[in-house]
Chains A and B, each alone.
Chain A
Amino acid sequence: MLKIVDLEVGNIGSVIKVIKHLGVDFELITQPEQLIGASKIILPGVGSFTAAAKKIHESGFIQALNEYVITKKVPILGICVGMQLLAKAGEEGGQSKGLGFINATVKRINSFDGSLIIPHMGWNDIDTNELPIFNNIDNRSCFYFVHSYAMNIAEHEKLNVAYTNYGENVVAYVNSEHIHGAQFHPEKSQQVGIQFLRNFIELC
Chain B
Amino acid sequence: MLRKRVIPIVLLDGFSVLKTINFSSRRNLGSPITVARTYNTRNVDELVLLDIDATKQKRSIDKFTIAEVARECFMPLTVGGGIRSIKDIQGLLAKGADKISINSYALENPAFIKEASGVFGAQCIVVSIDVVEIEDGFYVYNQGEINKSLKLTDWIKKVEHLGAGELLINNVTRDGSMQGGSIKLAELVSNCVSIPVIYVGGISNPDDAVSIGKTNVSGIGIASIFHFTDFTPKDCSAQLKLSNIPAR
The chain A residues found within 8 Å of chain B, CB to CB, are: 10-11, 13-14, 17-18, 46-48, 51, 111, 114, 116-125, 142, 144-148, 165-166, 185, 187-191, 193-194
Contact = CB atoms under 8 A, between A and B. Distances in A.
A119 B2 contact: no
Nearest to B123: A146
Given A123-B2, A188-B76, A194-B74, A10 B120 contact: yes
Contacts of A121: 123, 165-166, 196, 218
A123 B3 contact: yes
A144 B3 CA distance: 10
Interface class of chain A by DSSP: mixed
B45 to A, nearest CB: 6
B2 A190 contact: no
A145 B2 CA distance: 9
B1 A147 contact: no
Interface of chain B, helix or strand or loop or mixed? loop
Nearest to A13: B96
Interface of B: 1-5, 43, 45-46, 70-71, 74-76, 93-98, 120-124, 165-166, 194-196, 216, 218-219, 248
B2 A166 contact: yes
Contacts of B248: 123, 142
Contacts of A51: 121
Contact of B95 (A13, A122, A124, A191): A13
Given A11-B98, A146-B123, A189-B74, 11 more contacts: A51-B121, A111-B194, A118-B195, A119-B123, A122-B3, A122-B218, A123-B3, A123-B248, A142-B3, A144-B76, A148-B122
A54 to B, nearest CB: 13
B95 A10 contact: no
Contact of B5 (A18, A123, A188, A191): A123
Contacts of A119: 122-123, 165, 195-196
A185 B195 CA distance: 20
B123 A117 contact: no
A165 B123 contact: no
